[in-house]
Structure 1
Amino acid sequence: MARVDFAFGAPDRLRMACTVAQRHYTAGRALVVYSRDALTLARIDRLLWGFEATAFLPHVAATDPLAPATVVWLADQVPATPPAGAALPAWLINLDADCPPGIQAYERVLEIVSDDPDDRQAARARWRVYQAAGHDLHAHDVSGRA
């Protein structure tokens, strides 16, 4: 079973996903950023191009011909085979409202949750699904209020 980390209280879910992706990319970890929502993937794509003045994170769609040479993928379906070529095993960042299917190939799943009531409610539902499936769950307060 995968370890699933919930980061609760993110002020900006997509910006936090970029920060996390940058940190793990720099450390040598492959990542898949998953959402079935095309608008969410388009927004994260734009943010990854320059979410900070000096930050560019090389990334492609999981279906792109350059995907085998890139370790950060944006995906609307969870790839059965994660990106290769990184020093550390792949993680999956879930930006979808539901649990991603087929996470067995991933060492960890990261759920980033904002303070939005709908987002929190969807995260609680995902927590219960992961829990029922026997995944190792961890919660982290990233709001900075504690």
Structure 2
Amino acid sequence: MPRIEFYVLSTALPGDRLRAACQLAMKAWRAGLPVFLRGRDAAQCSELDELLWRFKAESFVPHSLHQDDAQAPVVIGLNEQPASAQGVLINLGNDLSPQVDHFSRVIEIVNQEPDLLTACRENFRSYRQRGYDPKRVEL
């Protein structure tokens, strides 16, 4: 059963949420874990792809969109099944990924935007109803 964590940001800026996702993806990759970044839609996936190239000038995070290379160390996609099991899912979608059980760890990134807070609270309840024990982490 995966470990579920909700990382809570103090701001409501969407860009802060995406930068946090990139930082967490880099940290997990450096720890040797495969990473799946789940966007809410194709446009956000493209935005994550671009941001991973430039969010830290002194670093490189090897990544790819799922359709281009599902075997990349950091994969960006929607609801595709990950090529590597037991990695980290960073969920930026507004609902639970259908692939949750393929990961050893799931990170939901929450900011203070009202609609997102509502969706994340629902996700928290859904994880509990499914028998998971989600934790809250302040960033």
* TM exceeding 0.5: yes
Q: 1:53 offset after TM fit, Å?
A: 1.4
Q: What secondary structure is seen at the aligned counterpart in 1 of 2:134?
A: strand
| In structure 1, C-alpha distance between the alignment counterparts of 2:104 and 2:33, rounded to whole Å | 11
Cα distance in 2 for residues equivalent to 1:108 and 1:130: 13
Question: Which residue identity lines up with residue 96 of structure 2 in the other structure?
Answer: C
C-alpha distance after superposition, 1:86-120 (max 9, x if no partner):
xxx41100000111112111001000011111111
Q: Which residue in 2 is equivalent to 1:77?
A: 79
Equivalent residue, structure 1, for 2:43: 39
Displacement after TM superposition at 1:127 (Å) = 0.4
Structure 2 length-normalised TM: 0.89
Residue 17 of structure 2 aligns with which residue? 13
Secondary structure of 1:67's counterpart equals coil
Give the partner amino acid of 1:75: G
Instruction: Give matches, 1:1-146, under 5 Å.
Output: 1-9=1-9, 11=11, 12-64=16-68, 66-68=69-71, 70-79=72-81, 81-83=82-84, 89-142=86-139
User: Aligned Cα RMSD in Å?
Assistant: 1.5
Verify the 8 A CA contact 2:33 2:87 in the aligned structure 1. yes
Amino acid at match of 2:65: A
Contact 1:10/1:112 (<8 A) preserved: no
The alignment-based identity, stated in percent, is: 35
Matching residue's letter, 2:70 = A
Q: What TM-score do the two structures reach when normalised by structure 1?
A: 0.85
Q: CA deviation at 1:133?
A: 0.4
Over 3 Å counting, the alpha-carbon distance change for 1:16 and 1:125 in structure 2 is same
Q: C-alpha offsets along residues 38-62 of structure 1, whole Å, 9 cap, x if unaligned?
A: 1111111110011011122111122
SS in 2 for 1:29: coil
How many angstroms apart in 2 are the aligned matches of 1:36 and 1:139? 21
Structure 2 residues not aligned, in runs of 5+: none
Distance change in 2, residues 1:7/1:43 (3 Å): same
Structure 1 unaligned spans of 5+? none
Q: Which whole-Å CA distance do the structure 1 matches of 2:79 and 2:63 have between them?
A: 16
Q: Distance in 2 between matches of 1:77 and 1:134?
A: 21
